[in-house]
Structure 1
Amino acid sequence: MKKLSISLLAALSIMVSCNNDENSKKEEEVLLNENPGSFKEIASITIGGEGAAEITAYDEKTKKLFTVNNSGTNQIDVIDLTDPTKPVKIGKIDLTPYEGASNSVAVFEGKLAVALESTVNKQANGKVVVFNTTDYSVIKQITVGALPDMITFSPDGKYIMTANEGEPNTDYSQDPIGTISIIEVTNNYAVTTLDFTSFSSQAEALKKEGFRISKAAKSFAQDIEPEYVTISDDSKTAWVTLQENNGVAKVDLTSKTITAIYPLGFKNFNTAENAIDVSDSDDKIAFNPWKVKGMFMPDGISHFSSNNVPYFVTANEGDAREYTANTDIKRMKSMKFDATVFPDAATLKLDANLGRLNLVADMGDTDGDGDLDELVAFGARSFSIWNGNTGKIVYDSKNDVDKKTNDLGTYDDKRSDDKGSEPEAVVAVKMGSQNILFVGLERSDAFMTYNVTNPTSPQYLQTVKTGDAPEGILFIPASKSPNKRSLLVVSSEGDGTIKIYQPDLK
């Protein structure tokens, strides 16, 4: 009987294994049969006005969406996604007792982590509050660095990371150090907060490669402003955008150290393939080459692997610093130019030409004689793919973002003088055997989809209209989706709308 029981158990085990294999195959077939270039809106829900739908996270356990709502409130809105075609707001989590305003949310297996900046003093340390997604009870509160702007769980759920931007107050009397916090979930939420002090000796070398340190900075570490985090599939490496500094930091999660800063350099807009529209007052949209360089200055970041090589993707939005004590943005026409380099400066300064373009005020005087030898703008109006091991660029989308949204009819010419479509968010995912990238465009109210399976030659798939000013993009794979179909959830802070998209089957 004992041998028979073992045989029966073995047989049952084989049957279960076969069923699991069969289920995996069926799931894979569903994924492979979805057309990643055919996402269509299937539902929409508005939860408030401006600032009401910034970032959204999904809990597979409860089939709920948790969305940041700062539209005259201080709460997380809870939305039932049991039927993705009929999302329903079913509750909220009031955040006022925690003396913080939410900037970002993330979910992992029944735990909701919320990044809160201090409402008592924005320059003081912020916190992470972890809630149970079922009853919204508090699991833990953890102190992190100043102004935690983005939060994420590692794929294995062992870590929570925040990018703590550490912005100064308006007169720079308080300028906290920009930091990255690593919280060990499995070690009673022990926190390690890292800063960039040890890189200060590399400042000059980094600047030569296009890294930016503001001339108003009190120190190297205080000027660093971490913005967004992505963590590798093996939960060992993170890449963090340093937006205002035009760089990306690499972090080793095992040793809890920042191992590198990658300066991102500049993009040359003076080529046919990088041609941009630079005037908001010429009553037309015209993409032309201009003698201008753009700092990439990425906001969102994501990652994927191809042939065992890690890559990170950046949304090259660009961002200026505008404070009473330090404003680093100026119209091109109000600046002084080197007559030898720009003999046609008077013509270039016309509003219909470069005159309206916003430039980095304290860059471009390469010989230190008080006039501009080159023009440096904010952002690259694109997304880029970089080698995750070296930080070297392998692909840039050139002017595809602005041109494709112009074709769609959503390009906002009134942003031409600033940063164009302003790529805000990037999310790289796996659909079947393909690496698919979604790019959210804050000022063109759309997202774009690319096949990035070949990192050096992405293939454009589609452009889709969203709500006003899309901020967050969330992909729910078919394996975790309520209806077992891949879903894309786009949160738009301009109109407080969450839209849900689903692809067609092939």
Structure 2
Amino acid sequence: MKILKQSLLIAMTIVAFQSCENDDDSQNSTTSVDTSVNFQFKNTINVGGEGSAEISAFDPITNQIFTVNTEADQISIYDISDITLPIQKTPIDVSGFGAPNSVAVHNGKLAIAVEAANKQASGKIYVYNTADASLANEYTVGALPDMVTFTKDGNFILSANEGEPNDDYTVDPDGTVSIIDVVNNNVTTLNFAAFNSQEATLESQGFRVFGPNANLAADVEPEYITVSEDSQYAWVSLQENNGIAKINLLTKTIEAIYPLGYKDYSVSGNAIDASDKDGVNELKNWPVYGMYQPDAITSVNINGIEYIFSANEGDSREYEGTPGYVGEDRVKDITLDEIAFPVAEDYQANENIGRLKIALDLGDTDNDGDYDKLYNYGARSFSVWSADGNLLYDSGNEIATRVLADTPNRFNWDWEDNETDKRSDDKGAEPESVEILNIANQRYILFVGLERNSQVMVYDITNPVAPQFLQFLQRDTDYAPEGLLAIKAEDSPTGNALLIISYEDSGTVSIYENEN
């Protein structure tokens, strides 16, 4: 029934898109806007060492970019009025409170999410004036604010507060979402306690609650937020839990949690390379499921329909204190059910799926101590979801297939060893970030950052359920794209659209320009 429902949704979406597309063609037939896409590297900024360039925000009023620099616990600032000659400005230091995680800009205001020195304590959102980097306000939010964003109308600032446990896993704050009402200057922090009673139902649909002695409210770890075009709703990725929550910003309530379910790697189009020790870069089907577990999500309204795009990175938990918690192991080191995984198939060999890392909390369906099903972290893809959490499109093994065909030296790559196939046993290319560029409401471009491959893939998503690949963006000295930031042509200092990529491991921020 679920597959049928999704198929009907996709069909309805395509029909709606084609109908509206025809209407748009008649309305825009006389426009002269250039919608061609050809992003080319222009410049790079060396911010510092590893961890010095995580997430960036851009202020079109001052032509400044603000970059999270966790190496120095500050926000690095650069004037890019001339993208060939960025000018470094005095940074904003937040080390007196803790470490910055995220930044966002709206109408001359910069919001900074800062975790406390004690990560389990309440965090802060600092708001600065972009013109002179002066502090305008500060707000107390939930534990470990990991992502901050403004609503489109600028009336609210939202923070995803992960609430991660301590190393011993003896203190585990609730995961929360804070809504800062900029107009009335107050904060509402929402927790997920209302969903504790729904835990069993949600888990049966593909949601995870698995921390030691944790209820749902404590176990969820809000990761990333995207906001609807009309600023009435927000969606929050709950990465480790394999879900997305929907928030009503008018009523300031969490309306729903959408379990994302699992991806079957045994079916056509979903094949993976499951081993880093098989001596070959090759995609095969295996009796394994992937958890979508999105990191970054973004949304776009096309022809009146809201679409949510997710980068299905995957994430495990590993806390090695006392008692701590380690949630993954390799297939070769667990006990497999011999009916589900016949010994003759030798699944636990390194060249098969023995090296693959799987979740330990899932798969023992009959509670007899062995694993009847296997669940890998992440889905090695990007997906498109409806506003109500229905899967409209998944890229399957498009990322791996495309990388193998066009840039085989980057396949499941590990930049530190400069070795292909290195991450096949884990989460593959690790799609980390997604960003959308709207070109004059006529063409929509999706950027997908691949953390391990150190690449960004560019797609045309004007038809959201049929993405078309356009190009790869990569450089030999930029590693681990953490943050993607698209700047519209009308906001750009060059008059052309820009893509700003923040690379966590190399500590660089690179600027690409659309030479259309």
Task: Tell me how far 1:344 sits from its aligned partner.
Answer: 3.2
Question: Which whole-Å CA distance do the structure 2 matches of 1:126 and 1:319 have between them?
Answer: 23
Task: Tell me how far 1:51 sits from its aligned partner.
Answer: 0.3
Question: Which whole-Å CA distance do the structure 2 matches of 1:345 and 1:465 have between them?
Answer: 43
TM-score (norm 1): 0.91
Match of 1:455 in 2: 464
Task: Return the match for 1:176 from 164, 167, 173.
Answer: 173
Residue 107 of structure 2 is aligned to residue 126 of structure 1: no
Task: Tell me how far 1:480 sits from its aligned partner.
Answer: 0.6
Percent identical pairs in the alignment equals: 48
* Compared CA separation, residues 74 and 215, structure 1 to 2 (3 A): closer
Are the equivalent residues in 1 in contact too, given 2:35–2:443 (CA < 8 A)?
no
RMSD between superposed Cα atoms in Å: 1.4
Match of 1:361 in 2: 360
Task: Tell me how far 1:456 sits from its aligned partner.
Answer: 1.9
Match of 1:414 in 2: 422
Question: Which whole-Å CA distance do the structure 2 matches of 1:271 and 1:84 have between them?
Answer: 46
Question: Which whole-Å CA distance do the structure 2 matches of 1:482 and 1:372 have between them?
Answer: 56
- Which of 495-504 and 399-408 deviates more? 399-408
Task: Tell me how far 1:352 sits from its aligned partner.
Answer: 1.2
Task: Return the match for 1:159 from 156, 160, 180.
Answer: 156
Task: Return the match for 2:212 from 210, 216, 219.
Answer: 216
Task: Tell me how far 1:283 sits from its aligned partner.
Answer: 2.6
Task: Tell me how far 1:134 sits from its aligned partner.
Answer: 1.5
Task: Return the match for 1:318 from 314, 320, 335.
Answer: 314
TM-score (norm 2): 0.89
For the residue of structure 2 that corresponds to 1:244, the secondary structure is: coil
For the residue of structure 2 that corresponds to 1:245, the secondary structure is: coil
Task: Return the match for 1:425 from 412, 426, 433.
Answer: 433
Question: Which whole-Å CA distance do the structure 2 matches of 1:363 and 1:39 have between them?
Answer: 42
For the residue of structure 1 that corresponds to 2:169, the secondary structure is: coil
Question: Which whole-Å CA distance do the structure 2 matches of 1:305 and 1:345 have between them?
Answer: 51
Amino acid at match of 2:50: E
Question: Which whole-Å CA distance do the structure 2 matches of 1:85 and 1:360 have between them?
Answer: 46
- Which of 479-488 and 338-347 deviates more? 338-347
Task: Tell me how far 1:271 sits from its aligned partner.
Answer: 2.1
Question: Which whole-Å CA distance do the structure 2 matches of 1:140 and 1:160 have between them?
Answer: 12
Task: Return the match for 1:405 from 384, 403, 407.
Answer: 403
1:6-45, Cα deviation, whole Å (9 max, x unpaired) = xxxxxxxxxxxxxxxxxxx9xx74xx31422x21111111
Question: Which whole-Å CA distance do the structure 2 matches of 1:465 and 1:404 have between them?
Answer: 14
Are the equivalent residues in 2 in contact too, given 1:217–1:223 (CA < 8 A)?
no
Residue 465 of structure 2 is aligned to residue 487 of structure 1: no
Residue 505 of structure 2 is aligned to residue 501 of structure 1: no
Residue 399 of structure 2 is aligned to residue 375 of structure 1: no
* Structure 1 segment 29-40 matched on structure 2, within 5 A: 29=32, 32-36=33-37, 38-40=38-40
Match of 2:115 in 1: 117
Question: Which whole-Å CA distance do the structure 2 matches of 1:126 and 1:280 have between them?
Answer: 39
Amino acid at match of 1:45: I
Are the equivalent residues in 2 in contact too, given 1:405–1:446 (CA < 8 A)?
no
For the residue of structure 2 that corresponds to 1:274, the secondary structure is: coil
Question: Which whole-Å CA distance do the structure 1 matches of 2:172 and 2:437 have between them?
Answer: 37
Question: Which whole-Å CA distance do the structure 2 matches of 1:366 and 1:150 have between them?
Answer: 35
Task: Tell me how far 1:186 sits from its aligned partner.
Answer: 1.1
1:180-231, Cα deviation, whole Å (9 max, x unpaired) = 000011112x110000000111111100110001151422100010000000
Task: Tell me how far 1:405 sits from its aligned partner.
Answer: 2.5
Are the equivalent residues in 2 in contact too, given 1:195–1:221 (CA < 8 A)?
yes
Question: Which whole-Å CA distance do the structure 2 matches of 1:39 and 1:85 have between them?
Answer: 15
Are the equivalent residues in 1 in contact too, given 2:432–2:449 (CA < 8 A)?
yes
Task: Tell me how far 1:281 sits from its aligned partner.
Answer: 1.6
Amino acid at match of 2:150: F
Match of 2:12 in 1: none
* Structure 1 segment 35-74 matched on structure 2, within 5 A: 35-36=36-37, 38-71=38-71, 73-74=72-73
Structure number with greater Rg is 1
* Structure 1 segment 126-275 matched on structure 2, within 5 A: 126-188=123-185, 190-275=186-271
For the residue of structure 2 that corresponds to 1:216, the secondary structure is: coil
Question: Which whole-Å CA distance do the structure 1 matches of 2:447 and 2:250 have between them?
Answer: 29
Question: Which whole-Å CA distance do the structure 2 matches of 1:422 and 1:428 have between them?
Answer: 18
- Which of 302-311 and 220-229 deviates more? 302-311
Match of 1:10 in 2: none
Question: Which whole-Å CA distance do the structure 1 matches of 2:356 and 2:88 have between them?
Answer: 42
Task: Tell me how far 1:357 sits from its aligned partner.
Answer: 0.4
* Compared CA separation, residues 345 and 248, structure 1 to 2 (3 A): farther
Question: Which whole-Å CA distance do the structure 1 matches of 2:342 and 2:250 have between them?
Answer: 55
Are the equivalent residues in 2 in contact too, given 1:51–1:494 (CA < 8 A)?
yes
Task: Return the match for 2:489 from 452, 458, 478.
Answer: 478
Task: Tell me how far 1:364 sits from its aligned partner.
Answer: 0.5
